[in-house]
Amino acid sequence: MSDETPSSSMNISRRSLLAGAASIPLLAAFNSVASAQGLPTAVVNTTGLAVTDTTVKVGILHSVTGTMAISETGSVQAEKLAIEQINATGGILGRKIEVIQEDGGSDWPTFAEKAKKLLVEDKVASVFGCWTSASRKAVLPVFEQYNGMLYYPTFYEGLEESPNVIYTGQEATQQILAGIDWVVKEKGAKSFYLLGSDYIWPRTSNKIARKHIEKKGLEVVGEEYYPLGHTQFNSVINKIKLKKPDVIYAIIVGGSNVAFYKQLKAAGIDMTKEKPLLLTISVTEDEILGIGGENMVGAYASMKYFQSLPNDNNKAFVAAFKKMWGDNIVIGDVTQAAYLGPWLWKAAVEKAGSFDIDKVRTASPGIELTTAPEGYVKIHENHHLWSKTRIGHARADGQYDLVYETKDLMEPNPFPEGYQ
């Protein structure tokens, strides 16, 4: 009922706000303030969230310390940027967003504990956070029990669809299938060597990849996993050399990445020769910083966003991001997905005309964002995003050149039939 209430004028202002948010903040601010008048707190907040007449509290929950801080820093920065931009354009329903930041400390129970604090003590209206699957799995029961809303930015293995989570990154099939189709069609790949760090995301992803490859009648010549943090890849590189696959499909994460690509190059596998070709779904521009562009040049990555995307939304986003966090910073796929979180939440709140979690949830499916740096995205019924899959070709300076993007948006399919 309540999601039908916003007047048509509100709808128009929301649209224009979304369209203008990144490029013409002033006009958008004017619209938003105008539309937000006359929505008393008692109406927009019936469940006792931390919403006042002028402010609304949200949580940011990432690791600032510990091993995962390396990866999660970018997400924190993106979320803060989005929130600052939203505040600069008049906030949400006329209310400024106040951030309560908590540190998960790369420790999963700490994540659960802090999530509970944010929901129970701070009564935040929404949480942007988590990075690893393990941290998400740890907080999930908390969000379901206390009915919170989590915007989760990372590309991940799927197999999940919670009413309390909006997944702004790609799930495995979105990221994988188009990439494999592309190497098969454009590069004539016939055989694959699957490689990953030993945990659920690489294993599930490789499982989907293997099914897809075998469905096409092609061959997987090897599949292997190494413990997180492993730094010696000479043996597996030897195996790859012997098996001579057309494609090395690598899903290695963290510090192991650096070791793997450096050793690959040292062993005389020049990725620019594409024999074998290397396709990864785990190395974003962030990771290349540590690996070094010269060690990564020639590799292909299959994901939904690259910093070099040429559209106007992205140019504005990259400029704003660098203005806020410094010129040397790079932006990877997850960082962009984290940036979407606050905007998607804002759109849902404004569509619902309320901060109430249940109303935001009902309003979420169908929300579209035309200002997303990656282009156009839309929330699916299953709380994942429709998005395009893109292939990037790594340059020596640590950026990717866009070489291919799917024509249509890929439908998110977290429980892929026949791929399990």
Is residue 238 close enough to count as binding other proteins by CB under 8 A? Answer: yes
Task: State the burial class of residue 290 (Cβ atoms within 10 Å of its Cβ: 0-12, 13-18, 19+).
Answer: middle
Q: Which of 23, 47, 55, 263 binds other proteins (CB under 8 A)?
A: 263
Question: Which tokens sit at 287?
Answer: 């990771």
Which value, to the nearest 10 degrees, does the dihedral of the CA atoms of residues 292, 293, 297, 300 take?
90
Q: Which of 9, 54, 234, 272 binds other proteins (CB under 8 A)?
A: 234
Is residue 116 close enough to count as binding other proteins by CB under 8 A? Answer: yes
Q: Which is nearer to other proteins, 273 or 407 (CB)?
A: 273
In the block, tokens 């604090």 appear at 117
In the bound complex, what is the minimum distance in angstroms from residue 127's beta carbon to other proteins?
Answer: 15
Q: Segment 287-316, which members bind other proteins (CB under 8 A)?
A: 288-295
In the bound complex, what is the minimum distance in angstroms from residue 52's beta carbon to other proteins?
Answer: 22
Q: Which of 199, 325, 376, 386 binds other proteins (CB under 8 A)?
A: 199
Stretch that binds other proteins, among 86-94, 219-227, 300-308, 377-385 (CB under 8 A): 219-227
Q: Which of 3, 16, 55, 141 binds other proteins (CB under 8 A)?
A: 141
Q: Which of 7, 232, 272, 370 binds other proteins (CB under 8 A)?
A: 232
Instruction: Give the span between the Cα atoms of 200 and 205, in whole angstroms.
Output: 8
Q: Segment 15-54, which members bind other proteins (CB under 8 A)?
A: none
Q: Which is nearer to other proteins, 40 or 227 (CB)?
A: 227
CB 296 within 8 A of CB 283: yes
Is residue 122 close enough to count as binding other proteins by CB under 8 A? Answer: no
Q: Which of 28, 92, 97, 103 binds other proteins (CB under 8 A)?
A: 103
Helices 133-145 and 108-116 cross at an angle (nearest 10°) of 30
Q: Which is nearer to other proteins, 27 or 289 (CB)?
A: 289
Residue 18 has φ and ψ, to the nearest 5°, of: -65, -45
Instruction: Give the span between the Cα atoms of 114 and 146, in whole angstroms.
Output: 13
Q: Segment 69-88, which members bind other proteins (CB under 8 A)?
A: 69-70, 73
